[in-house]
């Protein structure tokens, strides 16, 4: 259970997959909490490159969501991005950031998965990952559904499931708050 338990959580997105991931995790650790999505800007490019830029987008979303919802005690931002490797390959990445009104913050990330060469080329040409996956598969609105992870793992890992893990990592300072006590104080 979360300490302290939130009554309301603001998510920095209207993306149904991100909101569903937050609801699924909160149902296990704060069952009474309401979850509301808010259309906020990430202040990073539509396709963030690298962990730093992707974390910055998630953090901006979390803070903006909390500011947009006076009833919320936690703000959540989830941002997906890509990372270029030295050998030229491109991998997915994603980060979740949780903030509270006392300026406490948790960050969790992963979702490192290789992307097909055609997708990597489209990304380098400026296309967003969801659109590149649509081009690869002939699908539509991939990023609001299973996403690249769902397509490339043939559903073994869903986008929502992957985001649930990231969010759980980011909630560690609230889940095990006793380990975040500063002994120097």
Which tokens go with 131?
């659109």
Give the three-class secondary structure for 9: strand
Peptide bond into 4 cis (omega under 30): yes
Kindly report the average pLDDT of the chain as a whole number: 93
The rounded distance, in Å, linking the Cα atoms of 70 and 87 is: 46
Does residue 50 register a pLDDT over 80?
yes
pLDDT category of residue 4 using cuts at 50, 70 and 90: confident
- pLDDT tens profile 77-133: 999 999 999 999 999 999 999 999 999 999 999 879 999 999 999 999 999 999 999
16 closest CA partner among 46, 42, 39: 39
Please tell me the distance from the alpha carbon of residue 36 to that of residue 65, in angstroms, as a whole number. 9
Helix (H, G, I), strand (E, B) or coil at 184: coil
Angstrom distance (rounded) from CA 149 to CA 17: 12
Q: Which residues contact 147 (CB under 8 A, 6 or more apart)?
A: 17, 80, 130, 133, 159
Q: pLDDT tens digits, residue range 132-148? A: 999 999 988 887 778 89
Mean pLDDT of 18-31: 97
**With bands split at pLDDT 50, 70 and 90, how would you rate the model's confidence at 18?**
very high
Q: How much is the pLDDT for 183? A: 60
């Amino acid at each position: 259970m979360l300490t302290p338990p939130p009554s309301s959580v603001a998510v920095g997105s209207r993306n149904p997959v991100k909101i569903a991931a937050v609801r699924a995790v909160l149902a296990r650790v704060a069952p009474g909490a309401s979850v509301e999505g808010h259309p906020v800007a990430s202040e990073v490019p539509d396709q963030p490159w690298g962990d730093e830029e992707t974390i910055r987008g998630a953090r901006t979303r979390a803070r903006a969501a909390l500011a947009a919802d006076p009833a919320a005690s936690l703000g959540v931002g989830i941002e997906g991005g890509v990372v270029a490797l030295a050998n030229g390959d491109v991998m997915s990445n994603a980060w979740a950031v949780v903030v509270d009104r006392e300026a406490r913050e948790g960050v969790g990330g992963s979702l490192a998965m290789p992307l097909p060469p055609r997708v990597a080329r489209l990304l380098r040409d400026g296309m967003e990952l969801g659109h590149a996956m649509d081009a690869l598969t002939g699908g539509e609105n991939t990023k609001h559904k299973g996403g690249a992870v769902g397509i490339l793992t043939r559903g073994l890992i869903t986008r929502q499931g992957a985001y649930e893990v990231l969010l759980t990592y980011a909630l560690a300072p609230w889940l095990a708050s006793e380990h975040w006590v500063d002994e120097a104080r």
